[in-house]
Amino acid sequence: MTTFRELEAFVAVVDMGSFEKAARSLDTSQSAISRLIGEFEEGFKHPLFNRAHRSAYLTIEGHEVLRQARALLRQRSNLMERFANPELMASTLRLGVTELAAITWLGSFVADLKIRYPRLRLDLKVDSSPRLYAQMQDGQLDMAIVLDFTRSTNMARIPVGSATFGWFCASALALPQSLKLSEFERETLLIQGTPGGAGNQIESWLVDKGVKLANTIQSDSLAALTGICVAGLGIASLPRAIAADAVGAGLLREIRIPPGAPKMAYIFLVRADALSAFHRSVAELVRRNCDFDRAMIPQSRPT
């Protein structure tokens, strides 16, 4: 008789691309995954995997079984979410968030999540949007909150909020409060540097506004970017929640430019073929708590 554990192992092997990665994702051993897949395949007339390849390639029959397996797992998730006592539901949620989410609304979201699902184990990953997206594609994460920077046919995308950015410089820097576009273009711009992430979006926004970029300094870390800005090395594009503490301490001040400043939209990502009532419940908690413009904890002064 097929078990849900066998179904989970089968889907994990397909999503992760190998038995080894599937074992890590399910927190078990590779031998246990091999045993589960072997027992699962015994119930079918034809092989589900093409053993001629080193990676986990499905046969024609395997693809049809995969579709049914996903449906069964999704139905189980919906059943548990609708009728089971949330306090008795025990599972692991592999969630990816950006640095900005971790600094702003993540704490209140986790508190609400623990109230709704007391036995849920949260496996949290903080990284850049492009890397979180790649981990979603590889099956290493169940859900992620990332910048709305890409499209994918296999991902459900739920809007959750946006972050307001501004232009900031060191308070001691000899710059006027408002800059003409020609003056702004001569300055060094400090922006996030992850390819495909906020930096690319900000650069695209500037180009769309007719701004010609002369010189940029990039950093993946918002904290490092703030420190570089305090050191007087240029004008930084920072979320207001990140800059607020340094502005309040007199270390930074805001600069106005004719195009204004961008807003960055964020989305909740989950695999479309895995979307269930549980995922929608978590997405609803994200939307309820999501506030990218207010830091939950005051930021330490950059040194």
- For residue 11, CA distances in Å to 19, 36, 144, 202, 236 come to 11, 11, 19, 38, 44
Residue with the bigger pLDDT between 176 and 137: it is 176
- pTM equals 0.73
Look over the chain and give the mean of its residue pLDDT values, rounded to a whole number: 86
Is residue 263 classed as helix, strand or coil in its secondary structure? strand
The 10 Å CB-count burial string (b at 16+, else e) for 101-132 is bebbbbeebeebbeeebeebeeeeeebbbbbb
* Least confident piece of the model among 10-14, 169-173, 225-229: 10-14
Task: Answer yes or no: is pLDDT of 163 > 60.
Answer: yes
pLDDT digits (tens, 9 = 90+) for 55-94: 678 888 888 898 888 888 877 776 766 655 554 454 778 8
The 10 Å CB-count burial string (b at 16+, else e) for 240-270 is bbbbbbbbeeebbbebebeeebbebebbbbb
What is the reported pLDDT for 228?
94
Residue with tokens 């859900």: 143
Place 285 in a pLDDT band, splitting at 50, 70 and 90: very high
What percentage of residues in the chain have a pLDDT greater than 70? 90
- For residue 77, CA distances in Å to 70, 208, 227, 280 come to 11, 44, 45, 11
What percentage of residues in the chain have a pLDDT greater than 90? 42
CA 48 to chain centre: 32
236, 171 contact by CB (below 8 A): no
